[in-house]
Amino acid sequence: MTQSGSLADHALSPKNFHIFGSGISFSISPTIHNAGFTHHDLPYKYDIRESSHIDGVAHLILDKQFGGASVTMPHKLQVHKLCTGQTETARLIGAINTLIVKGTGNERHIVGDNTDWSGLHRIMTDYAARTAQRSDIGLVIGAGGASRAALYAMHTSGLRSIYLVNRTLATAEKVKEDFKDVFEIRVIKSLDALPEHPDVIVGTVPAETTTEDQFSAIFGSRGICIDMSYKPRQTPLLSVAQRHEGWDTVTGVEVLLAQAYDQFYLWTGCEPPREKMIEAVSKYEQEKARGGNKKGML
């Protein structure tokens, strides 16, 4: 239920929201969230703040007008040190992509949360409901902060077998170890070593580091393929999936929107105006259509 009516009855103080990361000048998160703020007539603004190290944005978090932030790579695994607390889910996943301000004055706290997993979970459960298909086997490609959210989303969606592949095997093994008390992850050395076809595939590595040939043998008869990389929107992984009848595909922009809806609600208490946000992204992409491609990750 939207709280825009109750918000209108009170004078709101201006707040600043940001996205923290490195190499994120391309981010469309400001387009998404500012469209939501405008729709609800909130005195908030959202911008890009790049920093090679998370300490470089600490002063923004301390500012009394700080309202919250999105956190992207390479900071998802380090930003916890600037938080006064974390949600149980964020702590379990081991990656934070959302900062939330709780309280004011001496009671002000910065809470780290993760909406990557909840956005992915919604996409997976919506697919299951729409197709009436049960998904049992999952594959996550990559072992960074985004992969942890993807793995947890698969677990909460009820997949019985979850595989993880990463270029550096030791990194994948560390992720497996971190989740061992909650659910089992099966690490494989390469995609060629995948013992069974997955129903759900999530790519979490930059598209520019991949080729279509890598994914030629991983698709079975049906399923859903999600790529969290969104520059370019049409990635090698999605291109291969679309050549297999029976496979649904979800772009990185759709994933970005799904997790942003949850962020918006956590920050404002208002229902995210999904159609307005999608329209804003479409308009932005049309305006930038003639520009060159740059790498993009959530």
Residue 42: phi and psi, rounded to 5, are -95, 140
DSSP string, 209-272: G--GGGGTT---SSEEEEE-EEESSS-HHHHHHHTSTTEEEE-HHHHHHHHHHHHHHHHHSSPP
**195-218: average pLDDT:** 95
Per-residue pLDDT of 49-97, as tens digits, reads 999 999 999 999 999 999 999 999 889 989 999 999 999 999 999 999 9
Cα separation, 132 vs 263, whole angstroms: 29
How confident is residue 136, by pLDDT bands cut at 50, 70 and 90? very high
Indicate the DSSP class of residue 13. P
The rounded distance, in Å, linking the Cα atoms of 297 and 149 is 14
Rounded distance between C-alpha atoms, residue 159 and residue 289, angstroms: 38
The full DSSP string for 24-93 is: -TT--HHHHHHHHHHHTT-SEEEEEEE-SSGGGGHHHHHSTTEEEEEE-TTSTTTGGGG-SEE-HHHHHH
Of the candidates 235, 242, 236, which has an alpha carbon nearest to the alpha carbon of residue 219?
242
Task: Report the percentage of the chain scoring pLDDT > 90.
Answer: 84
Q: Give the pTM.
A: 0.88
Reported as a single tens digit per residue, the pLDDT across 255-279 is: 999 999 999 999 999 999 999 999 9
pLDDT digits (tens, 9 = 90+) for 8-56: 445 789 999 999 999 888 899 999 999 999 999 999 999 999 999 999 9
Which structural domains are found in the chain, ordered by start?
4-114+260-297 (3.40.50.10860), 117-254 (3.40.50.720)
